[in-house]
Amino acid sequence: MTPGLTIRGLEKSFHTIPVLKSLDLDVAPGEILGLVGENGAGKSTLMNILGGHLHADAGAIMLDGEPYRPDSARAALRCGLGLVHQELELFPNLSVAENLLIAGFPTFAGCIRRRQVEQTAARLLQQVGLECSPRTLLGHLSAGQQQLVEFARVLATDFRILLLDEPTTSLSRRETDTLYATIHALAQAGKGIILISHQINDVLTHCDRISILRDGRLVHQGPTQEIDVEMVIQKMTGRTVTQLFPQRDRSKGAHVGRVLLDVQSISQPRTLSSISFQIHSGEIVGLFGLVGAGRSELARVLLGLDRCKEGRVLLEGQPVTGSPRRRIQQGLGLVTESRRADGILAEMSVSENLSLVALPRFCRPVTGSIRQPELDRVVSITRQQLSLQSRLNDQQPMVTLSGGNQQKIVVGKWLINDPKVLILDEPSRGIDVGAKADLYQLVQRFADQGRGVLAISSDLEELIGICDRILVMSLGHLTGEFQADEFQRELIAKAAFAMQLSEPSHRSRK
Amino acid sequence: MLPVFRFQHTSSLSLLLCLLTCVIGAPLTPGFASSGNVLNILGMAAPLLILALGQMLVMISAGIDLSGTAIMAVASIWGAQLMQPGLTPLPAGPWLVPLVVVAMPCIGGAFGAANGALISWGRIPPFLATLISMVFLYGLAAWWTRSASIGNLPTEFIALGSQPWIVFPVAATIAILVDRILRRTLYGRWLYALGSNPETAWVSGVAVQQTVFVTYAGAGFLAGTAAILFTAQLETGSPVLGKNLMLDVIGAVVIGGTSLFGGVGRVSWTVGGVLFLVLLENILSLHNLSHFVVMMAKGALILAACLLDSLRRQRKSQ
């Protein structure tokens, strides 16, 4: 019997797209393993399998020699696997003590023994170095303090393996140090620990071994002494380009027309600091960065969905201000990152979704009625450009469509309105390869008509494949700009970590 | 999927139910098919329909208006007072009644606009905002009149409620107008869009707040219009007008097939829902069942419609 956690040949696919490919991983008791990888490399999927939220398609997991296949988060905990989530799963309306012991209060004759609850809670808080009363309402704590409570909550349980997903994102340096001290103490007490983090410096400092995931495969595994930050980044990102992307003339100056969008030092407290860039007509500009770098926040500010404190935006020399509706009239468009939440009208038909943005342009002034025949004509022209499946019916509700077709329609509803600059936030998330290729064609044709495109993506290959220029953001700063002839994965990826590399002292990401 | 669910997408289940009720109910119910009774049914349905159309607009926006009947009560007593010699600022003469007929919907529209402002700019949930309005407005109506009805209305005004050739064309015109607005105008499209998904609507440049505001103002305006017919039928301005009517209004809309979750609804459905509810009540009364049994039957029916709606919703999301 091998003590600790052993994973052999783990596989998982979503809708025939493989996410984990024959993954092997070991964690011995008393060991701290760092797990790193790009967004979409499969870290979250692995975590969800270990945490009991998903089942693997193939492969075996053994915990201290016993087969391990939990059906729920509770079952995972019973088997001895503790999980600290990145997204806080706490109750802001309850006290700190109640949050810590919610899974099992000590009771006497059906009543909660308050004194014992508070004593236990105080001990746990001390362990993670959080100085606050157990009676404090959780909602009154800062994000960092809440993250420590989340950590302390797991300590209340009896685990053998501890899984931490980005545990330090909102912690100060001092809090982070305390957290790592606690982790080391746990390891010394014989617990096996897996640490998932984008903070490569921290991983190299605090972990015994590092495992690097890329595209669902383990590409490197070894002691942390034998590797440095740049090698880690190189191994995380190096990939070959496939024939997914359209041909494009990217010689210098091929797509630099007049300035369309001029963003001048946009700032927003804690998310964006003085972002400035320009987009020219005919140009596809990529925006790369890690999750939490502030890219989506920038997109939302540009369309007016969120307010910004400072800075201004010019579109063809005219200032862009006001509500999203006014900015759309002025010629902006945004395909948001989450289709379901704010991209589609799920129960409504394909044609209703396609016409939504352009409606005001087909509205007669006094009566407010819609010029239906003209609208129908434009909708059907755009619909043909989208290369949708031919058997798709215009009156079909959106929910019945595949993700790829939904995404094409979301892009289509903006194209109908003929914006000057279209922002695409993670346009290919969760869609299949064929739909991706169609989408890239669509974007390129749009740009070729003298329009500007800002494509936000966590997939560097995608940006290298379709963009004329790539901007990189890190922790709310613009940290890199690369022309097509300078596209080098390592340099771009390094720029995405720039704020972490330049300031080894830890910063909060949000 | 059961055929019923599919059927309700394309056409009006409620209109079919009405037809069925008539075909089965007429031979079994003495006095049902008499011309007097038919006029009676239509007379009851007309003001209820106008009120229900306002409720339907609000429900398409995924909201609810609990204050419609209370708005009606205030419009009723203020309208009645405007027609009392000595108490009215309006000049006596042939223009008095037409002026009041214009004023009452405007009073309703003003209170509806207040609801709309609270909900769209004050960001108070519709349920709460209109509940507050309901309590406030019934309070206002009772305080203003010291809980007394205002009678002694001009005969020209009372004729508005008793003449079928006025009541039906008015209700039909309003129904057709609302249908046109919903189907053909920018406002209508935006209303369905924001009822379906307010986030998508906002990102796509829909004037969400203004559309919501106009919807509640419109519902108030329609409540004020319904108040004209109800007041004329009762021949008094009543501070408790429609106090037990709220469930009928919401129920008629839901029976019609308008979703409680927003984004779905048609005028023809609501017409069917209102007619069905009125028909059912009429038949049960003609069989000499007590008012309370009728209430229980209506409750059960509306419950069934709500369950159908939530079931359809679950099937759709799978």
Average pLDDT, rounded, for chain A:
86
pLDDT score, position A178 = 84
How near does any CA of chain A get to the CA of B187, in Å?
7
Question: CATH code at A470?
Answer: 3.40.50.300
Q: What residues contact B282, with CB distance under 8 A and at least 6 apart?
A: B32, B37, B40, B41, B44
CA distances from B262 to A30, A334, A347, B85, B254 (A): 55, 25, 10, 46, 11
Across the interface, of A303, A343, A370, the residue whose CB is closest to B186 is: A370
A347/B contact by beta carbon, under 8 A: yes
pLDDT recorded at residue B81: 94
**Nearest Cβ partner for B199 among A342, A359, A369:** A342
CA distance A245 to chain B (A): 28
Mutate to test the interface with A, among B203, B214, B264, B318 (most CBs of A within 10 A): B203
The pLDDT of residue B56 is 97
Contact A310, A267 (CB under 8 A): yes
Q: Which of B80, B146, B75 is nearest to B90 (CA)?
A: B80
pLDDT at A294 > cutoff 90? no
Residues A35, A211 contacting (CB under 8 angstroms): yes
CB pairs A-B closer than 8 Å: 77
- Does the pLDDT of residue A508 top 60, yes or no? no
| Whole-Å CA distances, B109 to A360, B225, B276, B287 | 25, 9, 28, 39
Q: What is the pLDDT of residues B204-232, one digit of tens each?
A: 999 999 999 999 999 999 999 999 999 99
Domain boundary among A418, A448, A481: A418
Mean pLDDT of A246-251: 78
Among the candidates A367, A395, A418, a domain finishes at: A418
Partner A, chain B 253-272, Cβ-Cβ below 8 Å: 263-264
Pick from A356, A367, A397: which is nearest to B204 by CB?
Answer: A356
Spatial neighbors of A214 by CB under 8 A, at least 6 apart, are: A37, A38, A41, A235, A236, A237, A238, A239
Does the ipTM exceed 0.90?
Answer: no
User: Among A275, A188, A212, which Cα is nearest to A37's?
Assistant: A212
Could you tell me which of B192, B228, B209 has the C-alpha nearest to residue B109? B228
pLDDT of residue A510: 35
A328 reaches B (C-beta below 8 A): yes
Please give the average per-residue pLDDT across A98-125, as a whole number. 83
In a domain, A337, yes or no: no
8 Å CB contact of A356 and B201: yes
Give the model's pLDDT for residue A39.
Answer: 63
| pLDDT confidence bin for A19, thresholds 50/70/90 | confident
Are A37 and A197 a contacting pair, CB within 8 Å? no
The answer on pLDDT for A142 being more than 80 is no
Is A249 a domain residue? yes
Minimum distance, in Å, between the CA of residue B167 and any CA atom of chain A: 26
**CB nearest to B203's CB, from A329, A336, A397:** A336
Closest CA to A211 of A169, A168, A163, A176: A163
Cβ within 8 Å, pair B193-A348: yes
The answer to whether position A111 is within a domain reads yes
Q: Which residues of B touch A352 (CB under 8 A)?
A: 189, 192-193
Residue A341 lies in a domain: no
Do A427 and A397 belong to one domain? no
| C-beta atoms of B189 and A370 within 8 A | yes
Distance between CA A187 and CA A126 in Å, rounded?
18
Q: Is the pLDDT of residue A17 over 70?
A: no
Give the residue from A237, A260, A293 where a domain finishes. Answer: A237
A102 & A211 share domain: yes
More confidently predicted of A128 and B296: B296
Residues A223 and A181 in one domain: yes
What residues in B contact A399, CB-CB < 8 Å?
Answer: 316-317
Residues forming a β-bridge with A275: A266
pLDDT of residue A130: 82
| pTM flag (> 0.80) | no
Q: Rounded to whole angstroms, how far apart are CA atoms A42 and A19?
A: 6
Report which of B124, B94, B133 is spatially closest to residue B223, judged by C-alpha positions.
B133
* B138 pLDDT higher than 80: yes
Query: Can you tell me the mean pLDDT for A236-243?
Result: 56
Range A85-91 average pLDDT: 76
Residue A510 and residue A455 share a domain: yes
Q: Is the pLDDT of residue B248 over 70?
A: yes
Q: A304: distance to nearest CA of chain B, Å?
A: 9
Does any domain span residue A338?
no
Q: Which of A342, A345, A369 sits opposite B184 (nearest CB)?
A: A369
Q: Residue A183: inside a domain, yes or no?
A: yes
Q: Tens digits of per-residue pLDDT, A205-233?
A: 899 999 998 878 888 888 888 888 878 87
**Do A266 and A229 belong together in one domain?**
no
pLDDT of residue A503: 55
pLDDT value of residue B12: 62
B-chain residues near A344 (CB < 8 A): 197, 200
Residues A30 and A107 occupy one common structural domain = yes
Q: Let me know whether A353 and A500 are in one domain.
A: no
The predicted structure's pLDDT at residue B215: 98
A336: nearest Cα among A299, A304, A301, A307: A299
pLDDT attached to residue A153: 87
Quick check: B6 contacting A, CB < 8 Å? no
End-to-end CA distance of chain A: give it in Å, rounded. Answer: 44
Least confident of A39-43, A113-117, A436-440, B192-196: A39-43
pLDDT tens per residue, range B42-85: 888 999 999 999 999 999 999 999 999 999 999 999 999 999 98
Domain span at residue A351 reads 346-418
Q: Which residues of A155-192 are buried (b: 16+ CB within 10 A; e: fewer)?
A: bbeebbbbbbbbbbbbbeeebbebbbebbeebbeeebb
B179 pLDDT tier (thresholds 50, 70, 90): very high
| Band of pLDDT at residue B4, cut at 50, 70 and 90 | very low
Looking at residue B9, what is its pLDDT? 43
d(CA A208, CA A222): 9
B299 pLDDT exceeds 60?
A: yes
One-letter-per-residue 3-state SS of chain B: CCHHHHHHHHCCHHHHHHHHHHHHHHHHCCCCCCHHHHHHHHHHHHHHHHHHHHHHHHHHCCCCCCCHHHHHHHHHHHHHHHCCCCCCCCCCCCCHHHHHHHHHHHHHHHHHHHHHHHHHCCCCCHHHHHHHHHHHHHHHHHHHHCCCCECCCCHHHHHHHHCHHHHHHHHHHHHHHHHHHHHHEHHHHHHHHHHHCHHHHHHCCCCHHHHHHHHHHHHHHHHHHHHHHHHHHHCCECCCCCCCCHHHHHHHHHHHCCCCCCCCCCHHHHHHHHHHHHHHHHHHHHCCCCHHHHHHHHHHHHHHHHHHHHHHHHHHHC
Residues A363 and A477 in one domain: no
Query: What is the number of structural domains in chain A?
Result: 3
Which one is predicted more confidently, A187 or A238? A187
**Predicted local distance difference test score (pLDDT) of residue B8:** 45
Are residue A129 and residue A22 in the same domain, yes or no?
A: yes
pLDDT of the residue at A278: 95
Binned at pLDDT 50, 70 and 90, residue A424 comes out as very high
Kindly report the nearest CA distance between residue A301 and chain B, in angstroms.
12
Same domain, A81 and A149: yes
pLDDT tens, position by position, A345-400: 988 999 999 999 999 999 998 889 999 999 999 999 998 888 886 667 888 888 87
pLDDT of residue A433: 66
Say if residue A343's pLDDT is above 70: yes
The arithmetic mean of pLDDT across residues A316-343, rounded, is 92
Lookup: tokens for A179: 């957290």
Residues contacting residue B208 through CB under 8 Å, at least 6 positions apart: B120, B190, B194, B198, B201, B202
Which of A305, A346, A368 comes nearest B197 by C-beta? A346
Residue A151 covered by a domain: yes
pLDDT at residue B263 tops 50 = yes
In 3D space, the residue among A286, A333, A271, A243 whose CA is nearest the CA of residue A458 turns out to be: A286
Q: What confidence score (pLDDT) does residue A361 get? A: 92
Q: Is B218 on the interface with A (CB under 8 A)?
A: no
Asked if A55 and A12 sit in the same domain, the reply is yes
Q: What's A288-355 look like in SS3?
A: ECCCCCCHHHHHHHHHCCCCCCEEEEEECCEECCCCHHHHHHHCEEEECCCHHHHCCCCCCEHHHHHH
Whether A385 and A498 share a structural domain: no
Report pLDDT for B202.
95
- The CA distance from A23 to A37, in Å, is 14
Let me know if residue A298 belongs to a domain: yes
How far is B45 from chain A, CA to nearest CA, in Å?
Answer: 29
Type and span of the H or E element at A50 = helix A43-50
Cα separation, A136 vs A152, in Å, equals 15
User: What's the start-to-end Cα distance of chain B, in Å?
Assistant: 12
